[in-house]
Amino acid sequence: MHSMTIAVGDKLPDVKLIKAGESGPEPVQTADYFAGKKVALFSVPGAFTPTCSAKHLPGFVEKAADLKAKGVDEIVCTAVNDAFVMGAWGKAAGSNDVTMLADGNGEFAKAVDLVMDGSGFGLGSRGQRFSMVVNDGVVEQLNVEAPGTFEVSSAEYMLGKL
């Protein structure tokens, strides 16, 4: 069965992600986690990778206050990495304004059908670079990058559409 790529108006699939919490990894179900709030979510192919660290995450850190002023309750970063890596990246490059949700097994990337093949770089199967605004579990805005680009998934672009 071929899954369809998630689209605006779709409900976010219910999968388990691991939150990189202060006291260690905590499992969260997306259906519960995204319920009743407006979340700016962005996905990167990997923590600590060049574009992600130099531009993508810092953009959301920088624009966190602006996003919140536009009604966003929480900013979430997801990647196909384990929670320990995501937690370390959050400490190194992020801020308390960005919640790190690890998609260690790639279940979320597969469920929204936004998987990329990073095996040429030794990364295996990863999530594509994208961003979305999720309101009470429903996708309101979806910005998926073409391979190797960083344009539409930035915090600036999202802000411009909010």
Backbone angles phi, psi at 87, to 5 degrees: -65, -45
Q: In the chain, pLDDT over 90 holds for what percent of residues?
A: 86
Confirm whether 34 is domain-assigned.
Answer: yes
Confirm whether 1 is domain-assigned.
Answer: no
Binning pLDDT at 50, 70 and 90, where does residue 1 land? very low
Q: In the chain, pLDDT over 70 holds for what percent of residues?
A: 98
Confirm whether 4 is domain-assigned.
Answer: no
Tell me how many domains the chain contains. Answer: 1
Confirm whether 134 is domain-assigned.
Answer: yes
The mean pLDDT of the chain is: 94
pLDDT at 2 over 60: no
Structural domain that includes position 155: 16-161
Confirm whether 11 is domain-assigned.
Answer: no
* Active site annotation includes 52: yes
Confirm whether 156 is domain-assigned.
Answer: yes
Predicted local distance difference test score (pLDDT) of residue 3: 62
Predicted local distance difference test score (pLDDT) of residue 23: 86
- What gap in Å lies between CA 100 and CA 76, rounded to an integer? 6
Confirm whether 6 is domain-assigned.
Answer: no
pTM over 0.85: yes
Write the CATH number for 146. 3.40.30.10
pLDDT at 134 over 90: yes
Confirm whether 81 is domain-assigned.
Answer: yes
Q: Which one from 12, 41, 52, 77 is the annotated catalytic residue?
A: 52
- The predicted-structure confidence for 73-125, as pLDDT tens digits, reads as follows 999 999 999 999 999 999 999 899 999 999 999 999 999 999 999 999 898 99
